Structure 1
């Protein structure tokens, strides 16, 4: 999944590593630490 959250300044295609540690999902409210990369 490629994060995209224009309201937080995260554009489509932003690498996960570039998402700020304090980012919160606007859909479910989970923090960045609650997600993991699935390959």
Structure 2
């Protein structure tokens, strides 16, 4: 789960798998592919 990103239409509680492949972090500018899921 990621923090919400209302400017990109990402609602609070959105699972990572549902985030679009072309999403870019509004804070750091990194693309979705640059992130890793940590459990």
Using the size of structure 2 for normalisation, the TM-score is 0.91
**Do the aligned residues in 2 keep the contact of 1:24 with 1:30 (CA within 8 Å)?**
yes
* Unpaired segments ≥5 residues, structure 2: none
Provide the TM-score with structure 1 as the length reference. 0.91
Q: Say what the alpha-carbon RMSD is for the aligned residues.
A: 1.1
Task: Give the SS at the match of 2:10.
Answer: coil
How far off is 1:2 after superposition? 2.2
State the Cα deviation string for residues 4-27 of structure 1 (Å, max 9, x = none): 100000001000000000000000
